[in-house]
Amino acid sequence: MPATPTYTTDPRRDPLLQGVPGGPTAVSWGAIFAGAAAAAAISFILLILGTGLGLSSLSPWANEGASGKALGIGGFAWIIFMQLAASALGGYIAGRLRTKWVSLHTEEVAFRDTAHGFLAWGVATLFTAWLVASTASSVVSGGVQAGAQVAGGAASAATAAAAGGAGAAGADAAKSGNGGPMGYMIDSMFRGPKSKPSASPEQSTGEVTRIFTNALASGKLPEEDARYAGQVVAQRTGLSQQEAEKRVNETFAQVQTKAKEAETKAREAADAARKASAAAALALFISLLIGAFIASYAATIGGRQRDD
């Protein structure tokens, strides 16, 4: 009598859902989307809370409110905390709500739980990015603009004070259509040996302003321009031509110094903004990596508790 053959089964090849062949796929999309929704909601809530806390720590008054360094460190820590909380909750829910796999190898269960947590984190990240870009951008951008105004208020006030008189005259010239290089060239076309006695103070001020503007663009005040501006100054002040030209050169040197200081401050502000943007991008990158790991690990915890 022939021996009856003995069949052995590999648990890793057994049916996945309660021993029923041809059961549903190993990916529980319902659990993944549920975890992603929870993670996205927590991220959005914590983002709004962090924006409110950051704005409450700012102050337009000197020696009040948090410093820029403190705000940067606090923002980085808050981003990390936001990712930890949202990713842990989303991953845990995705692992806890997924379909129970019966007679499946332990390592395979752990891998699939990890994949569920990672997928929940990925969907939540994409959804949160879209949500922030579409609905919360006004809130966040308003806070950023307020912070930038507070941080750059002093520099803006100093720059405006330095260029106040010349800027006002330049604005008047622009309104009359005589501003810019074209206005300077037209002024030079009507110059005579002496300034026009009938020129009004507003006209002479605008003309000298255009001379200084052209000289600032080229980096040097030409001798003929200094001589003509000296004639205008001498006519209005009663100084001699030599004293008037000296005053013109001294004033131009002061204006040039102020312009260079303003340019330096603008470059420093741009460099600070560049560094802040780079630091924010790196902080976001690190936080997202941590969030992916936490979501994957939390899903394994939720899966184990689901199977127990």
Tens digits of per-residue pLDDT, 42-78?
A: 988 988 898 888 778 776 666 666 776 777 788 888 8
SS3 4: coil
Q: Position 4: which residue type?
A: T
Task: Specify whether the CB–CB gap between 16 and 101 falls below 8 A.
Answer: yes
* Per-residue pLDDT tens digits for 223-277: 888 888 888 888 878 888 888 888 888 888 888 888 889 889 999 988 888 887 8
- Output the pLDDT for position 213: 84
Work out the mean pLDDT of the chain and round it to a whole number.
Answer: 75
- Output the pLDDT for position 176: 45
- Output the pLDDT for position 19: 39
Distances (CA, A) of 217 to 162, 213, 248: 17, 6, 17
Task: Specify whether the CB–CB gap between 274 and 68 falls below 8 A.
Answer: no
Q: At what angle do helices 137-162 and 29-56 cross, to 10 degrees?
A: 30
Look at residues 260, 86, 74 and name the one whose alpha carbon lies nearest to residue 163. 260
Look at residues 226, 246, 177 and name the one whose alpha carbon lies nearest to residue 206. 177
Task: Specify whether the CB–CB gap between 278 and 68 falls below 8 A.
Answer: no
- Output the pLDDT for position 152: 52
Task: Specify whether the CB–CB gap between 289 and 84 falls below 8 A.
Answer: no
CA–CA–CA angle 33, 282, 64 (5° rounding): 105
Task: Specify whether the CB–CB gap between 65 and 57 falls below 8 A.
Answer: yes
* Phi then psi dihedrals of residue 17, to 5 deg: -120, 100
Q: What is the distance between the alpha carbons of residues 143 and 150, in angstroms, rounded to a whole number?
A: 11
Say how many C-beta atoms besides its own lie within 10 A of residue 35's C-beta.
33
Kindly write down the DSSP assignment for every residue of 136-202, as one continuous string: SHHHHHHHHHHHHHHHHHHHHHHHHHHTHHHHHHHHHHHHTT--HHHHHHHHHHT--SS--TT--HH
List the structure tokens of 175. 């309104």
Q: List the chain residues with pLDDT less than 50.
A: 1, 5-22, 140, 150-151, 154-171, 173-177, 189-190, 197-198
Which residues are registered as beta bridge partners of 17? 20
Say how many C-beta atoms besides its own lie within 10 A of residue 286's C-beta.
14
- Output the pLDDT for position 141: 56
The alpha carbon of residue 58 and the mean position of all alpha carbons in its chain are separated, in whole angstroms, by 17
Q: What is the distance between the alpha carbons of residues 280 and 72, in angstroms, rounded to a whole number?
A: 9
* Phi then psi dihedrals of residue 20, to 5 deg: -95, 120
- Output the pLDDT for position 137: 55
- Output the pLDDT for position 135: 59
- Output the pLDDT for position 245: 86
The burial class, CB within 10 Å (0-12 / 13-18 / 19+), for 124 is buried
State pTM to two decimals. Answer: 0.56
